Structure 1
């Protein structure tokens, strides 16, 4: 386990690196929904796939306060320090596939903390897929958060032309400096408070498909296989 001093150094380094990536990259496409929908309808729940959430602090509208959901384990402390230095709050909890694991991982407390943040006007950014897989499959938690909070989900994908693909459970990519970057949103998703289990499952599948489509479009834009519009 890393010492707190090492974690702080690594967190500051990560924050500095993310700023470098942002400052040296040219955003060739920024979805108008970020400003046209997210700003007037704040707070919102921004949904991403794993491996893209660390860029959120650098692309959010400055007038929108945000918090990011991060895991409770020690390795996530570096990310929490970096996120804090980039001006966002954090909620610490972990998702789980089995209900009996939720309490052990702090999921219930994290869910209530996210509800509280949304109630205070703070938008939440969180990954829709649950560690450790299956990757790129939205879990029910984010749908339930939208149901109980009454706030819309905005699917979002970030891609860069220069990147390092990592062999990990989530097939994440490390964004590299001096890239072309694209930010693509899917259509906002509203979850009625009286949604049945069947409706929640349908919305979970819809979110999965929306994030897949946004991700594919973002990569197609930065890789030059489709034009930004």
Structure 2
């Protein structure tokens, strides 16, 4: 029975159907929530510095495709090769976002999960003028920023743009990253954090310092985003 369920979940027709439905639902959520931006001139600040690396927490990713508002905002997003990633990849592509498949994990499974190839592809995408979006968390360790995104900024020379998005209406799952399912007909907030640049000659101590700074600014942006929609932040995070 488990094998049958696994085969059904891996079937292309189901993945395309779920991905397409997800994209449609997310459009509804975006169009029916009234969003504020903090700072209000966030696009005027960010656009001159593109292409950039957009960083956010895992589990808060569903509405991120909608920060792309103009044709000049060419973007690709890193999505895992895991089965669940197929649904996310199809939804992202339906919403006009390119995908890079692989893991952001820089641990023992990095090469096995396609991390090396994905890292090189992200560097190439930035060189070609694409913004690259990815979660900052260490896999399976929610709200702990990893060094992978810092390494990408050092290698590419592009700035990291941390941000958080929240809506007043949502469901929060009880999984490892406390995934937030944003719901329609409410209010939303997009909050930008401190822009982080990594010197090309950054040593291990500097990299760790910037990793901790990224973690702190993402937590602060998340706290502010929830405050702006009058909702409490996640337990243990603000």
Report if TM-score (shorter chain) is over 0.5: yes
Structure 2 unaligned regions, length at least 5: 1-5, 233-238
Please state how far the C-alpha of 1:80 moved relative to its aligned partner: 0.3
State the TM-score, normalized to the length of structure 2.
0.90
| 1:65 alignment counterpart | 74
Aligned to 1:83: 92
Aligned ranges 1:1-229 → 2 under 5 Å: 1=6, 2=9, 3-32=11-40, 34-62=42-70, 63-96=72-105, 98=107, 100-133=108-141, 135-223=142-230
Q: 1:31 to 1:60 in 2, by over 3 A?
A: farther
For the 8 Å contact 1:44–1:154, the answer to whether it is kept is yes
* Residue 187 of structure 1, CA deviation: 1.5
Moved more, 172-181 or 53-62: 53-62
Q: Give the Å deviation of 1:30.
A: 4.6
**Separation in 2, partners of 1:19, 1:224:** 22
> What are the Cα deviations for residues 73-103 of structure 1, in whole angstroms up to 9, with x where unaligned?
12210110000000010000113252x3111
- Aligned-residue Cα RMSD (Å) equals 1.3
Distance 1:52 1:17 in 2: 16
Residues 125 and 34 (structure 1 numbering): CA distance in 2 closer, same or farther, change over 3 Å?
farther
Q: Residue by residue, what CA displacement relative to the aligned partner does 1:144-184 show, whole Å, maximum 9, x if unpaired?
A: 00000000000000000001111010112110001100000
Separation of aligned partners in 1, 2:126 and 2:106: 24
Write the distance in 2 (CA, Å) between the matches of 1:166 and 1:141: 26
Return the offset for 1:31: 3.3
